[in-house]
Structure 1
Amino acid sequence: MRAVTLLALTRSSRALSMPPGGYTSRTMDPNAGAVDAQNPAKMLSPSCDRNKAAILSEYLTILPSSGRALEVASGTGQHVAHFAAALPGVRFCPSDLTTDAFGSVAAWAEGLDNVEAPFAHDCASVSDWAKLEPKSFDAVIVANMCHISPWMVTEGLFTGAAPAAGFRARPRRVDTSTTPVGAARVLADGGRLCVYGPFTTGGEHTSESNADFDRSLRARDPSWGYRDIERDLGALADKAGVALLKRIAMPANNFLLVYARCATEE
């Protein structure tokens, strides 16, 4: 079986004031200062505890039972430890935008032989994606990132660091119209891209609380906000060469979107 990559890009559950072009990861949790009473090296994110079981239950049916998994934006490390414990045949490689919480990732992963040391990875960086071997992974999984980061980050996920109009971004060194990066570059033919989080669908929010949260995000940073499944992600999927296979309704008005990479000639 080909290697499996688990790319779990996650977000802050609190809207933080950040400059345009910046984006958050699970490290920027509202309770980022909280630690485990038994092991202070373990940072705690209540949102991870709330959603990890529901996410894992779907991953168990989507991901193969063996291979190699890459988690991006690992944050505290709670997710990767939970997933790795349930999928001992998959070797997980956690990563994050910064190294700030790598000690926590290691603490949560202690005793798990299938979790590698984390490394720094920027989803909006062409050069970072280019470091990963093309078509080498069977799955890319993203959790709670799209709405709490600039649009260029979601573009980077699907097709490779294409900056949104009006944002200052690092110079592009790769023509992504002919040389894909992001999930479009690293997914094997038939590989899965799984995107978890809150979205609008058909231009509508799924609840009034989601609409309120979306407005609060945009008020704090105009580059943030809910993305639309059909209008926004659909366009990126077409550009990236991935097709939507499943749209799974999740607890708390979230979705898990499962895309498959279309086969391409070598």
Structure 2
Amino acid sequence: MVKIFVSYSSDDRAIADALAVGLRQDGHEVFFDRDNLRAGDEYHARIRDDIGACDLFIFLITPGSVRSTSYALTELSLARQRWPDPSGHVLPVLARSTPQTDIPPYLAAVTYVQGAGNLTAETLANVARIARDRRRTAIAWLGVGAAVVGVCSVAAVWFWPVEGPAAAKPCYLSAQVAKDSTGRISPNGLILDIVYRGATNSFMVSPEGTASIHVGPLEAGDAPWAFEVRSAIGDSVSRHPVQGCPTSARTYALGEGLNVTLAPR
């Protein structure tokens, strides 16, 4: 079960309602109903508390929700205060066609759900993937705890240090995409694809060429993975292999005049 806060414009209540029903049917705890709250300090405090208690913040992107007077932007600001890096915590959903320039950079920093078919079904699938990733991370950390307990127990009996196997850990990186004058691919609307163990995870590159990404959990310190940069219209360059999680900034030269710098964060 994942605790989920759904942020939306009042104009899009029907979309939010359908999504909340689907999330609850999948066993998740959902907060999205502002109508039961009274205006004033109590209203704002309850919203703040619920965002503070949620595991995942879903933002329905529509012209109404990104309007300057929208209360959804206030909720987004609270989410940003809690998670300066939205990766793994904030799931933007493009519920209605909205100009790219109107979408806050904080949301554009991660890949958002775009409903090619059933928007609710695609959002539920993304939430299920996030829930699986959380379970895998939790299991990995349980493995770390078990290894530590085992090492301590052996050391207490034999008075000899024992080191258990390295546990799988996620690799968190900042990416900077730069294009020289020979580049063919447009710098706008770029997507950074991360490929690890046959699975692909996509991250939206901001108009400034930056993206916050994560890989794994990597099962070994030198586990191989790869990345590629593509545009929203499908143009892409060849994949570039990476070994393990970079511990310092590294720049990779790709085709089509693109350079990607990865640095730990």
**Taking structure 1 as the reference length, what is the TM-score of the superposition?**
0.33
Q: Which has the larger radius of gyration?
A: 2
Question: Greater relative contact order (Cα 8 A, min sep 6): structure 1 or 2?
Answer: 1
